[in-house]
């Protein structure tokens, strides 16, 4: 048996739409992207959605919006020490300084109790990451942000379909950023999207994704085939070539959006299958505690089932790498859990942190891995994974 890490759902409706777009030659960002934005925003429950090239761009552009609200280059943004490296990269690419906070090992998310100690006069935002789709404690984080007049940008890259205290993840912050990469619940192959209820922020995002242009209408009438646009010429100047801010080149194309629309049409089916797999594994894995541990789903939350994370105890009698190699030998694909960005990723050494500064994140980086729970897996594959792990544990102790 083979247990793959990820999968990709491309529906027949998406294939038909792609053929239609190719025959028309309409492949750059247009109506299909707009349709995807509207449907994704409606699914999560926000007023605005702005699609971009990648999930990293979603983080990056959401942060860059803050310059229009008084932020300065070099200002600080609080992020968890443990995340996929894109979170830290996005802060730096947007021109800010990341300030890292350790995680809670039980949730793999930023420890709210440690946030206030990291806030300074230069802090402008908090970026909580819902790692593995496990909701961060957004009520506490929002209270801290409100107290210190900070913006909150949710990194919901892995949290499609997650719910916390009766409210969808992605609707708690001023903005939320999603990845739409192939391994994620809703995918556009590559891609990302930023959600917000603030129409001004959405306008700025539309400008930022297209080099900082003055043009930021939801639907460009020129690209839609109209000859004239009432907003195009101001005092004789073509405003399409007037750039209001330092921007990026981050648009989503029509073919990607077509794949995304197909995924949205079957979202509930994908979500249900993945969530069933995740909860089955969480329940089955209790037999291995405390040697092997994982996250849990609280009564006031629903995890967005991105993947199944595992932490190997240092007293296990075997290493994470030995277990991962054994899984691979038995056709079970996995990925190491992410690293402590400031202390385990050499690219961040210039920030001056030292190994030991973030012990919980570093433990997860050394001892953690995750496997897929995607919609092409079922109870049979989950049972096989549990059986292989049980055999390894018996043999190793």
**C-alpha–C-alpha distance, residues 373 and 191, integer Å:** 21
Provide the pLDDT for residue 371.
Answer: 98
Domains of the chain: 12-265 (3.40.640.10), 267-396 (3.90.1150.10)
CA-based Rg of the chain, rounded to a whole angstrom?
A: 22
Provide the pLDDT for residue 240.
Answer: 75
Q: What are phi and psi of 331, to 5 degrees?
A: 65, 30
Provide the pLDDT for residue 4.
Answer: 96
pTM: predicted TM-score of the whole model, two decimal places: 0.95
| Strand 97-101 to 368-372 pairing | unpaired
The Cβ of residue 257 has, within 10 Å, a number of other Cβ atoms equal to 29
Count the helix, strand and coil residues of the chain and give each as a percent rounded to the nearest 5: 40, 20, 40
Provide the pLDDT for residue 225.
Answer: 57
| Residues 6 or more apart in contact with residue 153 via CB below 8 angstroms | 59, 62, 63, 125, 126, 127, 173, 174, 175, 176, 177
Output the six-digit token pair for 366.
Answer: 């050394």
Question: In the chain, which residues have pLDDT < 70?
Answer: 220-228
Q: What are phi and psi of 35, to 5 degrees?
A: -60, -45
Please give the C-alpha separations between residue 186 and each of 27, 238, 333, in angstroms, as whole numbers. 20, 38, 21
3-class secondary-structure state, position 32:
helix
Provide the pLDDT for residue 226.
Answer: 58
DSSP conformational letter for 135: P
List the one residue out of 307, 351, 324 whose CA is nearest residue 76.
Answer: 351
Provide the pLDDT for residue 220.
Answer: 64
Provide the pLDDT for residue 202.
Answer: 97
Provide the pLDDT for residue 92.
Answer: 98
**C-alpha–C-alpha distance, residues 51 and 79, integer Å:** 23
Q: Are 15 and 343 in contact (CB under 8 A)?
A: no
**C-alpha–C-alpha distance, residues 388 and 397, integer Å:** 15
| Residues 6 or more apart in contact with residue 184 via CB below 8 angstroms | 55, 157, 158, 160, 178, 306
Provide the pLDDT for residue 222.
Answer: 55
**C-alpha–C-alpha distance, residues 154 and 385, integer Å:** 32
List the one residue out of 327, 361, 330, 320 whose CA is nearest residue 108.
Answer: 361
């Amino acid at each position: 048996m083979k247990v793959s890490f990820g999968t990709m759902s491309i529906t027949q409706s998406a294939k038909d739409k792609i053929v239609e777009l190719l025959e028309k030659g309409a492949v750059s960002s247009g109506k299909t992207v707009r349709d995807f934005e509207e449907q994704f925003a409606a699914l999560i429950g926000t007023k605005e959605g702005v699609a971009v090239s990648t999930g990293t761009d979603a983080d990056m552009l959401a942060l860059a919006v803050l310059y229009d609200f008084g932020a300065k280059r070099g200002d600080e943004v609080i992020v968890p020490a443990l995340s996929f490296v894109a979170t830290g990269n996005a802060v730096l690419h947007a021109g800010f300084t990341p300030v890292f906070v350790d995680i809670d090992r039980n949730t793999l998310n930023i420890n709210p109790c440690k946030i206030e100690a990291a806030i300074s006069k230069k802090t402008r935002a908090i970026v909580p990451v819902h790692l593995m789709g496990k909701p961060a404690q957004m009520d506490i984080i929002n209270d801290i942000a409100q107290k210190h007049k900070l913006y909150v940008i949710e990194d919901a890259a892995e949290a499609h379909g997650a719910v916390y205290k009766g409210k969808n993840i992605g609707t708690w912050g001023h903005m939320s950023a999603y990845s739409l990469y192939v391994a994620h619940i809703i995918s556009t192959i590559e891609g990302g999207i930023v959600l917000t209820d603030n129409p001004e922020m959405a306008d700025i995002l539309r400008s930022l994704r297209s080099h900082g242009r003055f043009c930021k209408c939801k639907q460009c009438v020129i690209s839609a085939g109209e000859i004239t646009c009432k907003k195009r010429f101001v005092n004789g100047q073509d405003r399409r070539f007037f750039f209001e801010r330092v921007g990026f080149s981050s648009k989503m194309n029509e073919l990607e959006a077509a794949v995304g629309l197909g995924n949205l049409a079957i979202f509930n089916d994908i979500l249900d299958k993945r969530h069933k797999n995740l909860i089955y594994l969480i329940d089955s894995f209790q037999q291995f505690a405390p040697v092997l541990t994982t996250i849990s789903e609280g009564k006031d939350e629903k995890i967005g089932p991105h993947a199944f994370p595992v932490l190997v105890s240092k007293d296990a009698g075997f290493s994470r790498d030995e277990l991962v190699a054994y899984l691979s030998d038995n056709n079970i694909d996995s990925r190491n859990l992410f690293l402590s960005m400031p202390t385990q990723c050499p690219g961040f050494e210039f920030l001056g942190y030292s190994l030991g500064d973030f012990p919980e994140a570093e433990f997860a980086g050394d001892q953690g891995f995750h496997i897929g729970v995607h919609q092409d897996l079922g109870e049979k594959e989950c049972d096989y994974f549990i059986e292989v792990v049980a055999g390894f544990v018996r043999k190793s102790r």
